[in-house]
Structure 1
Amino acid sequence: MTTKATLVAWHKTDEVRNAVLLLPGGSIKSRGRYWSFVDLGLRALARTLSVAGEPDGLAVYLLRYRYRGWNGEHADALVDTREALDEIRRRHGSVPVSLVGNSLGGRAAFHAADDPSVTSVVGVAPWLPEGDPVDQLAGRRVLIMHGERDRSEASAASSLAYARRARAVVPDLARFEVGGDGHYLLRRAVDCWALTTGFVTATVGTRPLHPAIGAAMAAQEPDCLNAPLAVGFGGQADG
């Protein structure tokens, strides 16, 4: 039996004008079957995006990979992501797409940014190893958020180093550190999803970019890429 990735249509409006593709985390190496519990957090984000993006015709998709792992040169999660982007194009035409990747899914999102439909990329505690490419981000808008206490393989230090390299290619890049949280961002999930939702609806829809994101993109100070995400940002964004 052939293993296939599953593109879950979480929300589709009557007239789709843009889309977001949510990419869950996983393992560095495993050909085991995908575990659906890994996308629990992204399901909460999907619900938030479905409501916030409805006026702009935002289709919300969640990808469940064939396998749990990246698997070295096979880059299985990236292969599945590219196929999902092709499928979104078949369904809706060349609508602008935002990629939102968590951990391993963050690496897939950043690698797939060269797809012609992609206009923006979000990395939620993304796994961005040393040496990963940045040139494919040119012309996109990029958001990275990372728990300051994340010392996993997908560490905050790694995404900061990546962001510093990428800033030379993509000026419209903001990176926030989430105080008091680790890799899973459980304590500050409301703030993280509010930040993500505001960014997505601005970069593929018609909403204005949140001032905090715009300021982080414009900042040039040496420490501008570890800007703190304000506690209570979720409430501020809703207001």
Structure 2
Amino acid sequence: MPELLPQGGADGAAVRGVVLLLPGGAVRGHGRPSRLAAFGMAEPARRLAAAGRADGVAVVRLRYRFRGWNGAEADTLADARWALDAVRAAHGPGVRIGLLGNSLGGRAAFRAADGPGVVAVAGVAPWLPDGEPVGQLAGRAALIVHGDRDRGEAGAAHSLAYAERARPVTALRRLEVAGAGHLLLSRAADAWAPAVDFLLDALAGRDPFGRLPPEDAAAPLRTPVPVGYGARGGA
């Protein structure tokens, strides 16, 4: 069975919104989910819990049944949809939900954006292969943050193509972190902080894009995240 793991923030009757964290994983694999991928969500979990408490935001992380997406089985997506049902069962049908996915979890987050209660979805280095649907994003605010040196199967070129197709469907921003690869080792805080700002504002009913870097007029879907954003601009 998948499992929801509390990560802090508001609790009890104070909860008005929930951020569901969806870690990375593998394309295929029925082994245990990656502990390293789960550990990689510690930075946004800490930021969200600390800054979201005042707005009644709780943070939970999903532990998948399996490490991989597994083709047509789409195990990660099935687990994400299970988690959405569990969140609503715990906090009521009126709870506002934000999804934050990394890599494999980014694909699940964007696929599950049409779930009841979801108001916003963000992906950091999301795996968005060619042909991914975008219609489910309608009515949800969306954000993609990607390192410009990520050239793998979950690379920046794929998320850029996805954003180009999705932007006519819904309100969407895409940011790039210069010098960062898929693991975001050099600028992790700068990558996570915009997603935290975006989700907290969306769940609180504020403009979800209000605190993000202004769009680059020449290349709006490749807007750079300023160096140091995670220290001065993030939650």
Which TM class, normalised by the smaller chain length?
A: over 0.9
Q: Point out where structure 1 has 5 or more consecutive residues left out of the alignment.
A: none
Aligned match of 2:156? 156
Structure 2 counterpart of 1:147, one-letter code: G
Aligned match of 1:138? 138
Which of 215, 222, 225 in structure 2 is aligned with 1:226? 222
Q: Distance in 2 between matches of 1:93 and 1:111?
A: 22
2:128 equivalent to 1:128: yes
Cα offset, 1:213, TM superposition: 2.7
Structure 1 counterpart of 2:46, one-letter code: R
Structure 1 residues 173 and 44, CA, compared in 2 at 3 Å: closer, same or farther?
Answer: same
Aligned match of 1:43? 42
TM-score by length of 1: 0.92
> What is the percent sequence identity of the aligned residues?
50
- Are the aligned partners of 2:193 and 2:229 in contact in 1 as well (CA < 8 Å)? yes
Structure 2 counterpart of 1:81, one-letter code: A
Structure-to-structure mapping, 1:18-167, within 5 angstroms:
18-94=17-93, 95-167=95-167
Aligned match of 1:13? 11
Cα root mean square deviation, aligned = 1.7
Structure 1 residues 238 and 174, CA, compared in 2 at 3 Å: closer, same or farther?
Answer: closer
- Are the aligned partners of 2:80 and 2:112 in contact in 1 as well (CA < 8 Å)? yes
Q: Distance in 1 between matches of 2:91 and 2:213?
A: 29
Structure 1 moving runs of 4+ over 2 Å: 206-216
Q: Secondary structure at the match of 2:41?
A: helix
Q: Distance in 2 between matches of 1:51 and 1:66?
A: 28
Q: Point out where structure 2 has 5 or more consecutive residues left out of the alignment.
A: none
Q: Distance in 2 between matches of 1:140 and 1:193?
A: 20
Q: Distance in 2 between matches of 1:207 and 1:194?
A: 17
- Are the aligned partners of 1:122 and 1:142 in contact in 2 as well (CA < 8 Å)? yes
Structure-to-structure mapping, 1:193-208, within 5 angstroms:
193-207=192-206
Cα offset, 1:133, TM superposition: 0.3
Q: Secondary structure at the match of 2:45?
A: helix
Cα offset, 1:32, TM superposition: 1.1
Q: Secondary structure at the match of 1:100?
A: strand
Aligned match of 1:237? 233
Cα offset, 1:235, TM superposition: 2.6
- Are the aligned partners of 2:194 and 2:234 in contact in 1 as well (CA < 8 Å)? no
Cα offset, 1:120, TM superposition: 0.3
Structure 1 residues 139 and 208, CA, compared in 2 at 3 Å: closer, same or farther?
Answer: closer
